Amino acid sequence: MKIATWNVNSLRVRIDHVIDWLKREHADVLALQETKTKDEDFPIDAFTELGYKVQFSGQKTYNGVALISRQEMTDVRTELSGLNDPQRRVLAATVDGVRIHNLYVPNGQSVDSEKYQYKLGWLEALRNQVSLELADYPNSILLGDFNIAPEDRDVHDPAAWEGKVLCSHSERDALKALLDLGFVDVFRSFDQEDASYSWWDYRAAAFRRKMGLRIDLILASGSLKDSCTASRIDVEPRRLERPSDHTPVIAEFTV
């Protein structure tokens, strides 16, 4: 199973990039975030014509997640229990016995903001739900835009980002609490180039200046991690005309 995550920052604008990428990479599962697309406007046919099934949970203007899969998706969930959240940020489904959570973790804005508290509460609700579901689905993958850089090596300028949102201790602790359930950040299971990032701000020519963060992650549960054979970041879509500010992250499993 080849699985990937990509924050597309508007599926309407990026649909040609996504379709071209699927034709090239032939992923089995692609998790999209920030589709910014209402469910009635989702471009279903563009994916079914390529032989994919689609599931989506969208809203107007903001957020929105989707799963594109060659195989059938079952037991689809779009809510975190205990969280009454109108923001469409979660899409869970089971594919070939593997439980997959596509996540658009709140950005958090800044550590002194209400949005940061929402982010921490959201991550706690996520941990609670994943912890419960692991009993039924030991083979589990969490992937998406985590809006957290796990370690300083995932940050172009750790000193400048020290304590800032996306890098703060509380966020990294919340990510560690997920990893403590047995999950592994599979990108780090393999040799990677220095300065491997998945997001670059549109501003200040950050991409050209290699000023990025690795905030798009694929976490595999303890029973799945040994079946992961590769993981990489595909930077090519970030070089295209009118790109998303994020680029795809890929992992391959023998299951």
Partner DNA sequence: ATGGTGGTCCAACCA
Of 28, 116, 137, 145, which is the active-site residue?
145
Contact residues toward DNA (CB under 7 A) are: 9-10, 12-13, 36, 60-62, 106-107, 109, 115, 147, 202-204, 242
Distance CA 127, CA 185 (A): 15
Q: Kindly state the DSSP code that residue 18 receives in the 8-state scheme.
A: H
Token pair listed for 58? 């969208």
* C-beta closer to DNA: residue 23 or 203: 203
Token pair listed for 177? 């609490």
Distance CA 45, CA 34 (A): 19
Distance CA 170, CA 4 (A): 27
Q: Least CB distance from residue 17 to DNA, whole Å? A: 10
Of 28, 52, 104, 154, which is the active-site residue?
104
Total length of the chain:
255
Number of CB atoms found within 10 A of residue 54's CB = 18
Q: Strands 228-233 and 249-253: what pairing?
A: antiparallel
Does 104 qualify as catalytic in the annotation?
A: yes
* C-beta closer to DNA: residue 179 or 204: 204
Q: Which amino acid is at 145?
A: D
* C-beta closer to DNA: residue 101 or 119: 119
CB-facing half-sphere around the CA of 196: CA atoms within 13 A:
17
Which residues have a catalytic role annotated?
104, 145
